[in-house]
Amino acid sequence: MGTKNAVKENFFQLGYDKIKWNVYYIVILYCVLGGVWIYFSDELIESLYTDVKTITDIQTYKGWFYVVITALLLFLMINRLYKQLKSYYEQALKGHTSLKLIFDQVGSVIWTIDKQLRFTSSYGSGLNKLNLRVNEVIGKTLYEYFGVNDNEFLPIHSHIKAFNGDSVYYEMEWEGNTYHCHLEPLREGTGEINSVIGIAVDITDRKKMEDRLKNQLNELLQWKNVVLNREDKIMELKKEVNALLIEQGKPIKYSNV
């Protein structure tokens, strides 16, 4: 359900401006054509006929003619608008499906939060690792979900920053997994921020690999220090041997020190 709602929101945003102006165009065109038709047709009828009954009959026919023609024009314009709406929807749905496939592959979680820091949607294949179903957390606040009441707690502090208009990135460990999180404010047409969207990508395997590589690097550095210390001690011994030989009036044994 959350996925469908997200698609609808993206869809309405995608073609909102163009669709809005098409609606204005239909209304304005209808008013202009109606006004022009009524004024000039009345003038023409009154200039051609003087009999009241004849004028009344013609006015009736003219009215029906106007209804039929405008109905046809409205149908054509609304049908054109419908096709635009359908096209925008299909584009949005196609884009959403592609993104969903990508996010599902990387084990991500996507959610939206309102001004009260309450979840309004949550979905993504990463929910499985958190033992959650799609939209299961809707209605819960971040405080309730994380079991804290601290605005400085990293996820809560980050969402508050996003509501101030910032793009926020952070990493956190939760339920035994490590996530790279990205938050973006969602702005209305007026620029007001009423919600925040977040995506968390599971980087647990990557972090484990980084930790293994870090440990291996540390081991190599330790061995390097051991070897260097050993070489330094050997050099010192060679110098001492050379010094003793010089004291005895003998040639030095190690010329490379």
* 119, 174: one domain: yes
C-alpha closest to that of 10 among 98, 140, 82: 98
* 176, 116: one domain: yes
Alpha-carbon torsion 79, 82, 88, 93, what sign?
A: negative
Among 186, 202, 218, the domain-final residue is 202
Domain count, the chain: 3
State yes or no: pLDDT of 10 exceeds 50: no
* 221, 185: one domain: no
Least confident of 9-18, 51-60, 200-209: 9-18
* 119, 182: one domain: yes
> Which residues on neighbouring strands pair with residue 199, listed in sequence order?
110, 182
* 33, 21: one domain: yes
State yes or no: pLDDT of 97 exceeds 70: no
Mean pLDDT of the chain: 79
pLDDT-derived band at 163, boundaries 50, 70, 90: very high
Among 69, 102, 135, the domain-final residue is 102
Please tell me the distance from the alpha carbon of residue 125 to that of residue 200, in angstroms, as a whole number. 11
* 118, 59: one domain: no
* 118, 172: one domain: yes
Please tell me the distance from the alpha carbon of residue 104 to that of residue 129, in angstroms, as a whole number. 12
**Segment 78-83 mean pLDDT:** 77
Question: How does pLDDT run across 167-219, given as a tens digit for each residue?
Answer: 999 999 998 889 999 999 998 878 889 999 999 988 888 888 877 888 877 77
Q: Check which CATH number belongs to the domain holding 172 and give it.
A: 3.30.450.20
State yes or no: pLDDT of 224 exceeds 50: yes
168 is written with which tokens? Answer: 């926020």
* 70, 141: one domain: no
State yes or no: pLDDT of 103 exceeds 70: no
- pLDDT at position 101 is 60
DSSP sequence for 156-220 = HHHHHHHHTT--EEEEEEETTEEEEEEEEEEE-TTS-EEEEEEEEEE-HHHHHHHHHHHHHHHHH
Among 202, 224, 248, the domain-final residue is 202
- pLDDT at position 189 is 76
* 38, 122: one domain: no
Q: How far is CA 138 from CA 2, 3, 133, 229, 246, in A?
A: 9, 13, 10, 61, 86
* 115, 183: one domain: yes
pLDDT-derived band at 162, boundaries 50, 70, 90: very high
For residue 130, how many other CB atoms are within 10 A of its CB? 20
C-alpha closest to that of 195 among 93, 111, 99: 111
- pLDDT at position 38 is 78
pLDDT-derived band at 19, boundaries 50, 70, 90: low
H-run or E-run covering 252? none
pLDDT-derived band at 2, boundaries 50, 70, 90: very low
* 55, 125: one domain: no
Which residues, 6+ apart, have CB-to-CB distance to 150 below 8 Å?
A: 156
* 130, 186: one domain: yes
**Domain range enclosing 91:** 2-102
State yes or no: pLDDT of 7 exceeds 50: no
State yes or no: pLDDT of 13 exceeds 60: no
